[in-house]
Amino acid sequence: MDFPQTFTSRPELPITRVASYDGHPGWLVTRHATARQVLTDPRFSARQELRRPIFKPVRLNGPREPAAPGWFSAMDAPEHTRYRRHLHTWFTARNLRKLEPRVTEIARELLDAMDDPADLVRDYALPLPSRVICEILGVPYADHEYFEAETAIVAAYEPETASAAMIRLTAYIRELVERGPKDGVLAELIENGSGLTHEELANIGLGLLTAGHETTAHMISLGVLALLEHPDQLARLAADPELMGTAVEELLRYLSILHLGAPNRVALEDVELDGVLVRAGETVTVSLPVANRDPEVFPDPERLDLARPEARENLGFGHGAHLCLGHNLARMEMAVAYRELFARRPALRLAVPSDQVVLRPDAVVFGAISLPVTWG
């Protein structure tokens, strides 16, 4: 599997000078320990109006404006904490265990409907998390083709077209909120007197909807591709199903699909990192693909090892207060997707040579455009 070179080549130094899209000086961090420090140290802020990322951002409002109400991923405490508190219980491991039978049911329905040959992205990897997040949010799945297409535009990271798609998606969620969803997260937030405005609810819904299927879909499809390219590891997993939890963690580490969407923080004061002085106001970007292949943490990091004991140390979902809210959901969806696919299609193989699988160019989320498979 050939990954794009964005943030995947390890530089000579663990922290390297880079410039933002508008020429503002910043830093790129590639060392695992330093990445964890940046993502947990309160001297580094996630506030949208302060950050100057390497690539021009796709945002609901202007780049030098505070995050739109409800867009909590671009906020610091206490605002960030307040929004997450409203949503936390929906995404705990305990709550999601109750959801796993439904996710399994959806996976089996999709597999039963798949023709041979199939495009695993279109027929399985994308609709599985799409249906799940729709049910969690209370979004009609009848509209899934619309929001999947719009989310793909956002993830392609062409700032003008992506911003327009975000505006359309926001209007869609706002209309849903104003109509009053019948069940799911949005309905509960409206009914329980959360005090959130329609604008906040719409932006929260947009964030969860777009994040809740695009990244997981590409992790599922690329994970399948990685396993098919490493038949020894796939056989190891088939022989020991208890290995699935560690296998998911290792695939998150090995694939590290967030490239242009890498987390970035701005220094609120002068901070020393790896012997380098980061000045207040400078943005530090974390390279997740390189940090997840740091040999100080992951011996022989270029090797896929589904039993790797330190796999759980991966930063695939970030780290610290801004750890991805849906990390437990994504892990469960990946485990169910792999388990059901290889149990029900044990002869699964690529329908084209692996070098003919078309991968997305540099984008927010790295993935396969399509993944032709067969099992006959």
205-256 residue pLDDT tens: 988 887 878 889 999 999 999 999 999 999 999 999 999 999 999 999 999 9
In a domain, 193, yes or no: yes
Q: Does the pLDDT of residue 292 top 90, yes or no?
A: yes
Question: Residue 31 sits in a domain of what CATH number?
Answer: 1.10.630.10
For residue 6, the model assigns a pLDDT of 46
For residue 141, the model assigns a pLDDT of 82
175 three-state secondary structure = helix
In angstroms, the CA 86 to CA 100 distance is: 22
In a domain, 261, yes or no: yes
Question: What is the domain count for the chain?
Answer: 1
pLDDT, average across residues 109-118? 97
For residue 261, the model assigns a pLDDT of 61
In a domain, 4, yes or no: no
pLDDT, average across residues 49-70? 85
In a domain, 23, yes or no: yes
Q: What is the pLDDT of residues 303-342, one digit of tens each?
A: 999 999 999 999 999 999 999 999 999 999 999 999 999 9
The domain in which residue 20 lies consists of: 15-374
| Token pair recorded at residue 45 | 């802020």
For residue 4, the model assigns a pLDDT of 47
For residue 286, the model assigns a pLDDT of 94
- CA-CA distances (angstroms) from residue 325 to 24, 164, 208, 265? 30, 25, 9, 18
Cα torsion 308, 312, 315, 317: sign: positive
150 three-state secondary structure = helix
Model pTM greater than 0.85?
yes
Lowest mean pLDDT: which of 257-271, 273-287, 308-322, 343-357?
257-271
The strand pair at 118-119 and 372-374 is best described as: antiparallel
Q: Helix H segments across the chain?
A: 32-40, 79-87, 93-113, 120, 127-137, 144-156, 159-179, 184-191, 198-211, 214-229, 231-239, 244-255, 288-291, 327-344
In a domain, 8, yes or no: no
Q: Does the pLDDT of residue 275 top 70, yes or no?
A: yes
In a domain, 6, yes or no: no
In a domain, 181, yes or no: yes
In a domain, 237, yes or no: yes
